[in-house]
Structures are given as C-alpha cells and as structure tokens.
Amino acid sequence: MNSSLWHEVPSSWYLILSALLFSLGVIGFLIKRTLITVFMSIELMLNAVNLSFVTFAHDWHAVKGQIFVFFVMMVAAAEAAVGLAIIISVYRSRATLNVDQIDLMKL
C-alpha cells in the first residue's frame, strides 16, 4: 500500500463521501413514502454537508468552518423539533403519513 496513503487520507475522499451521503439523502427524499422517513433523509443531507464543512475547515485551518457546523447543528435541531410537531398535526388531521395522500394543495 502506498505509504503516503496509509498515513494520509486525501481530503477529497471525505468530500466524495459527503457527496455520496448527500445524494443518498436526495434519493431518500424522492422515493420514500412516509413523511417521517422523508424528514430523516433531510437530516442525512444536513449531516453530509456538515462533513464537508468540517473537511474544509481542517484543510484550510479555518475555525470558522467548525463554527458554521455548530450553527447548522443548532438550527437542524430546532428544525427537527418544529418539523416533527408539524408531522404530528398532519397525522392528526389526515390520519395518514403517506406522502402521496397529503395533496390538499393540489390545484
């Protein structure tokens, strides 16, 4: 094995991992039929982005990158709380969490 590789993982790998996770999150966002699962895919996407931020922060020795991740985490937590509350009220009014059946906004 390449010795440099043994000791040093290129940051591009982290970034590609991040991209991969993000894509998987988008796929899940598109194909999943339960509202909660869709929401979980969104969280996955947010985490992927966090990973890339941290990678870059490490690459350029920029602490601001990690600060940003900190804030993303905070906002994601808040958003998760509110989003789940919405999901609960949707369940209460529609009695289903099937994405295809929540189409009251149809023209």
Partner 1 sequence: MNAHLHLWLIPILPFAGFLVNGLLGRRLPKALVSAVALGFPLASLMVVARAALIFFSLKPQPIPWLITYGSWINAGPLHLDFSLYLDQLSLLMLGVITGVGFLIHIYSVGYMAHEDGYWRYFSYLNLFLFFMTTLVLAENYLLMFVGWEGVGLASYLLIGFYYEKKSAADAGKKAFVVNRIGDFGFLLGMFLLLSQFGSLSFFQIGTNLTANPALQGGILTAIALCLVVGACGKSAQIPLYVWLPDAMEGPTPVSALIHAATMVTAGVYMISRTHFIFDRSPLALSVVAIIGAATALFAATIALVQTDIKRVLAYSTISQLGYMFLGCGVAAYSAAVFHLMTHAFFKALLFLAAGSVIHGLGGEQDMRKMGGLRKKLPVTFWTMTAGVIAIAGIWPFAGFFSKDAILYEAFQQGTLGKVLYVAGLVTALLTSFYMFRLWYLTFLGESRAGHGSEEHGASVHARSDTNLVQGAEHHQAIHESPWSMLTPLVILAILSLCGGWIGIENFGAYLAPVVGPVTDPALESGGKNLDYILSGVAVVVALLGWMIAHTFYSRKNDRAAKLATAASGPYSLLVHKYWIDELYHNVIVTPITLASRYILGWLGEVVIIRGSTWLLGGIATLLGELLRRWQSGNLRSYSAWLAAGAAVLLFFAVVGAVLGIGGTELRMVWAGQ
Partner 2 sequence: MHLILFLIFAGFCLAGAVNLLLQTHPINSALSLIVVMSSLAVLYLLLGAEFLAIAQIIVYAGAVMVLFTFVVMLLNVGEEEKTHGSKVAKVVGFPAIFVFFSVITTVVLEAQRHLDSLKMGGIRLSDAMTTIRELSQVLFTDMLLPFELTSVLILIAILGAVALARKEGHS
The contact set with partner 1 (CB under 8 A) reads: 26, 29-31, 38, 56, 59-60, 62, 64, 99-100, 102-107
Query: How far apart, in whole angstroms, are the C-alpha atoms of residue 61 and residue 93?
Result: 50
Mask: binding to partner 2, 27-66, rule CB under 8 A, as x and -?
xx-xxxxx-xx-xxx-xx--x--xx--xx-xxx---xx-x
Work out how close the CB of 76 gets to partner 1 at its nearest, in angstroms, rounded to a whole number: 18
Q: Are 40 and 26 in contact (CB under 8 A)?
A: no
Q: Which does 38 bind (CB under 5 to 8 A by kind): partner 1, partner 2, none?
A: partner 1
Query: How far apart, in whole angstroms, are the C-alpha atoms of residue 36 and residue 80?
Result: 11
Query: How far apart, in whole angstroms, are the C-alpha atoms of residue 29 and residue 15?
Result: 21
